[in-house]
């Protein structure tokens, strides 16, 4: 029987029902393979074990190239195990993540072990940056207005712009068709920010009725 760890969510990816007037424009998740390659450096890890294999093979080639390669194949097997673990980690991260763009905010349900939901209103976002890959996936990093992002880099990883630790930028990592998603985000943010916010205050000198 299928089991959904997030079946108590009133709306998928959100901790509570949408307020009146708010609607979902897009929802998505990271693509597993690009997430493993970018955030977990799968390519570099595989290359590192490959180099160790070659180095140990060449270093012991005097005893016979075939025997040296056989002895050094331990590092290839170890590298395959590590790469498999990285792929499983990327899969778990992608499966537990839901990115949501509404007409008022960006919401990020993240965390494979400890789940949290970030609500990022458009009025608190200063800028957005799109890093596009050749396969169409990409990362959309959100630069928040000063004072509006108090969560540590390590708490958000891998859903952050890499190496921006001093001023953390939450990011929609490795989303498919990222250019279209960025366009949806830009149009929604522009519409929301251009809409004036009207607040009601008491007139100066007004006296409350007894």
User: Binning pLDDT at 50, 70 and 90, where does residue 2 land?
Assistant: very low
Q: For 20-38, how does the pLDDT look when each residue is reduced to its tens digit (9 = 90+)? A: 999 999 999 999 999 999 9
Q: Which residues contact 145 (CB under 8 A, 6 or more apart)?
A: 124, 125, 126
- Which helix (H) or strand (E) segment is 180 a member of? helix 178-194
Alpha helices (H) in 117-177, listed in sequence order: 153-156
Q: For 95-149, how does the pLDDT look when each residue is reduced to its tens digit (9 = 90+)? A: 999 999 999 999 999 987 788 899 999 999 999 999 999 999 999 999 998 877 7
Upper half-sphere CA count for residue 79 (Cβ side, 13 Å): 19
User: Binning pLDDT at 50, 70 and 90, where does residue 177 land?
Assistant: very high
Average pLDDT of the chain, as a whole number = 86
CA distances from 86 to 45, 70, 73, 135, 210 (A): 9, 25, 20, 21, 68
- Which helix (H) or strand (E) segment is 92 a member of? helix 65-96
Q: For 47-102, how does the pLDDT look when each residue is reduced to its tens digit (9 = 90+)? A: 999 999 998 888 877 777 777 888 888 989 999 999 999 999 999 999 999 999 99
Distance of alpha carbon 105 from alpha carbon 197, whole angstroms: 15
Phi-psi group of 74: left, alpha or beta (phi > 0 → left; psi -120 to 50 → alpha; rest → beta): alpha
Q: Give the per-residue pLDDT at 143.
A: 92
What percentage of the chain has pLDDT greater than the value 70?
89
**167-171-173-178 Cα dihedral, nearest 10 degrees:** -130
């Amino acid at each position: 029987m299928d089991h959904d760890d997030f079946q108590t969510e009133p709306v998928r990816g959100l901790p509570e029902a949408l307020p009146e007037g708010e609607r979902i424009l897009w929802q998505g998740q990271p693509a597993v393979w690009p997430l493993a390659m970018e955030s977990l450096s799968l390519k570099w890890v595989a290359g590192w074990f490959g180099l160790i294999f070659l180095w140990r093979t060449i270093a012991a080639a005097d005893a016979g190239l075939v025997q040296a390669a056989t002895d050094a194949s331990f590092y290839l097997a170890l590298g395959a195990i590590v790469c498999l673990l990285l792929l499983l980690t990327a899969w778990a991260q992608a499966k537990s993540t839901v990115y949501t763009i509404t007409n008022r905010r960006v919401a990020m349900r993240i965390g494979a072990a400890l789940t949290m939901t970030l609500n990022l209103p458009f009025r608190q976002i200063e800028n957005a940056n799109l890093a596009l890959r050749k396969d169409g996936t990409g990362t959309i990093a959100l630069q928040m207005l000063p004072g509006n992002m108090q969560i540590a880099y390590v708490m958000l990883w891998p859903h952050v712009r890499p190496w921006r630790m001093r001023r953390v930028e939450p990011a929609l990592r490795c989303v498919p068709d990222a250019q279209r998603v960025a366009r949806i985000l830009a149009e929604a943010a522009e519409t929301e920010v251009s809409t004036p916010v009207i607040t009601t205050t008491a007139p100066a000198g007004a006296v409350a009725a007894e």
